[in-house]
Structure 1
């Protein structure tokens, strides 16, 4: 295991030099980065700040009368749903893809209190503004926690509920010492392109990197070169605190909508692994076990396990992701 880690570090060192030279600075709202579909905005006034929430609204050529909303993870934005939106739209679904406040092309507040309830409320305001009364909801990673909170707060608005390798299937507070916002902020300020790629390689892809994954690193790395990066980093620190202190795992039995869990079995993502002992670390982020436990917790739920795939099935094994998703939505 140690030899594998050393080899991985050497490979990252050499590849990281060329990779970092290819990183271009990006604006605070991802100015300079083009999304796969036109981006629109709604205006929100939150805790005294005038903010804009970005979203894509992909309308099908032959509508089937149904809508699905795709929720992004913490280290991502709505852009990574491009292929998913294309195929869902082709199948007749209207596809709504928000960038949550603090993420992607949406505003980065100077200082607000983040809660999953707030993000769910913002998302409901977006749907209301475009006339969507009922939708299926799909959440990946942190988006799974937002999607869960949205489904609990607005059950009458949710047709079907899908979780793709969500975080929050366990309560990290029970094992990980508390890290305050200032500590998260200092950690975010230290990020580099090489460090971001190393984290994704080890946490998301289990050492199995492909060149097409580079574009998702370049977004975060481009932000580190922005003169406004301190504001971006502060928002990231605030949302880490939200994730750590606001678990949703205890409320899964209250979900009413038909539910599908799509779980890559190689995933071991967990918040705060670097803060605990090796013995404790081994008990965290066990997605095969977490997926089965969650499926038993949520009434009327189904589980699809994708072998040998990590945290991002819709990026790493797209066909094995989209097939069960379409089947669930169309039944």
Structure 2
């Protein structure tokens, strides 16, 4: 008897097995070799993981890819492979507190410091000019990095970046202890439901499971409290350190690539009902912000959410690659 496709999908979800992952993902494979950049902060040593892959033959340039808050560098694999085909060197860091990088109990989490660490990592690879691409939180961080090091960054591409609005003027503040308690409650169901409802408009496909593999694996390991604490610290960072007022100061050509269905907003989960519907309106935010960017270009993907590189890769890639090579 033939099994209908929808039943196969359901069976795939039920059979999905998540493996416990330690704080630095020591048993989790990345698509390219991982190296580590050593960082010293107040007599403490930390390691920043990164992938650095080069195509064969003559290079067109270097592109740095910055991950989002619920992600690690490995999810850039398809983009990186396509960039390699275009003869670009690709550097993909895991920020401190994410992926295979260190998860400190105490660390100066600021966008400025993470941007400085990322720029130093890149320049230590003998790269003085590069294209910077950031998704979600990575877009917010990339904006800060571009503001700090305008002479080094040739182009800036922001893919559904957070930070297009200042949430703290509408949402009550929660301190890191409160945020930590929220993070500790995460489990497989909550993680999947969040991405399903926020990223994918209530739809879920078996291929989306790959996007929650690390997050769920962390909740199953004894290191999870450390992961939750770092996540609370970085939530506080992005909530309290807006970049929206400084887009006008960007000097390089900038692409704002936006899935218009996206409604992602930090603090939306605890915002008053009266303002929830005002937050994360990417269908409005993209149009407003691009007017502030001197050399800005807006590319909207109608009906697409927070993950255009997953939902509609071909459209996403065309917009990104057209901007990079023009």
Q: TM-score range by the shorter chain?
A: over 0.9
- Count of residues paired in the alignment: 318
Q: Give the equivalent residue in structure 2 for 1:156.
A: 151
Q: Give the equivalent residue in structure 2 for 1:199.
A: 194
Q: Which runs of 5+ in 1 are unaligned?
A: 1-13
- SS of 1:166's partner is coil
Shift of 1:28: 0.8
Q: Distance in 1 between matches of 2:211 and 2:185?
A: 19
Please say if residues 115 and 144 of structure 2, whose CA atoms lie closer than 8 Å, have aligned partners that are also in contact: yes
Which of the numbers 306, 309, 327 marks the counterpart of 2:304?
309
- SS of 2:134's partner is strand
- SS of 2:207's partner is helix
Cα displacement string for residues 274-315 of structure 1 (whole angstroms, at most 9, x for unaligned residues) = 222323111110001100111101011111100111001111
Q: Give the equivalent residue in structure 2 for 1:108.
A: 103
Which of the numbers 263, 270, 274 marks the counterpart of 1:279?
274
- SS of 1:196's partner is helix
Q: Does 1:135 align with 2:130?
A: yes
In structure 2, the CA distance between the partners of 1:38 and 1:234, relative to structure 1 (3 Å rule), is: same
Q: Give the equivalent residue in structure 2 for 1:232.
A: 227
Q: Which runs of 5+ in 2 are unaligned?
A: 1-9
Q: Distance in 2 between matches of 1:304 and 1:17?
A: 34
Which of the numbers 105, 112, 118 marks the counterpart of 1:117?
112
Shift of 1:25: 0.2
Which of the numbers 86, 89, 93 marks the counterpart of 2:88?
93
Shift of 1:136: 0.5
Q: Give the equivalent residue in structure 1 for 2:19.
A: 24
TM-score by length of 1: 0.93
Q: Does 1:172 align with 2:202?
A: no
Please say if residues 58 and 87 of structure 2, whose CA atoms lie closer than 8 Å, have aligned partners that are also in contact: yes
Please say if residues 171 and 272 of structure 2, whose CA atoms lie closer than 8 Å, have aligned partners that are also in contact: no
RMSD of aligned alpha carbons:
1.6
